[in-house]
Amino acid sequence: MFVRFTKGDVTSYGVLNGDNIKKIQGDLFTGDYKITEETLQRKEVRLLAPCKPSKVICVGLNYKDHAKEVELPLPKAPLLFLKPPTSVVGPNNEVYYPEQSGQVDYEAELAIVIGKEAKNISEENANDYILGYTCANDVTARDIQFGDGQWTRGKSFDTFCPIGPGIVKEVDLENAKVELYVDGENKQRSTLDQLIFKVPHLVSYISQHMTLMPGDIILTGTPHGIGPVEKGSTMTVKVEGIGELANKLV
């Protein structure tokens, strides 16, 4: 798994294997890099969000089980919205409960990490533009989202987009489990076969509307079981084949 981390003042990419991180030299996104023998311990570094997106594109209502839960018809095309890059934080970063809201919800999601600039690409070629996958939590001030009727404000607070812990190249896009836990208690559990619009279709469709840049992130939607979380609780997203992303709400 590729991770981005800091030690002291230095930010680097590396490959995490068990408790060891091997530093990477070069650019993960161009493919022009090499894995060095310089090894650090997981506990001596701080993991960061694994990339710095120019934008975070989100897909609403993209799980069959979630559409059923909220009693909405299946969308005919992907329903898109954006979160600003300022909402992005990394693993174990705190998420701040905004004073404007009385209901903050978790949303466990599979995130696609774009590897290279993508415009008007086909579904068949989509995979060439994907660097890999990570876990995401589409934290949402639900009262504001529905009160406004327009989703931007409720989805955009600083810290409302935890991603991580790292980027894996391959995920089982049919069978991988997507789960969310609050203080260890399971709240969401589904599999990627519940996705209405699949990963290649999403990348192609979004690239017809806006140019995707290296490091951009696509949040693929959340399964059934959404719900509120209280201050002091820790939300943990687990995507099978990637790992765990834990963030405390404060």
CB of 81 to Mn ion, least distance (A): 8
Give CA–CA dist 248/250, Å, rounded: 6
CB of 177 to Mn ion, least distance (A): 17
Q: In what order do the strands lie in the sheet with 140-141?
A: 140-141, 104-106, 227-228
138 or 216: CB nearest Mn ion = 138
The site that binds Mn ion (CB under 5 A) totals a number of residues, namely 3
Binding positions for Mn ion, 128-167, rule CB under 5 A: 138
Give CA–CA dist 1/14, Å, rounded: 8
Exposure b/e, 116-138, CB count within 10 A at least 16 = b: eebeebeeeebeebbbbbbbbbb
Alpha-helix runs per DSSP H in the chain:
64-69, 142-148, 152-155, 199-207
Q: Are 209 and 80 in contact (CB under 8 A)?
A: yes
Single residue of 137, 222, 236, 247 touching Mn ion by CB under 5 A: 222
CB of 62 to Mn ion, least distance (A): 8
Residue 250: count other Cβ atoms within 10 Å of its Cβ: 11
Binding positions for Mn ion, 86-125, rule CB under 5 A: 107
CB of 138 to Mn ion, least distance (A): 3
138 or 179: CB nearest Mn ion = 138
Report the residue closest to Mn ion, judged by CB. Answer: 138
87 or 222: CB nearest Mn ion = 222
140 or 207: CB nearest Mn ion = 140
Give CA–CA dist 179/152, Å, rounded: 25
24 or 141: CB nearest Mn ion = 141
CB of 202 to Mn ion, least distance (A): 13
Which residues of this chain interact with Mn ion, rule CB under 5 A?
107, 138, 222
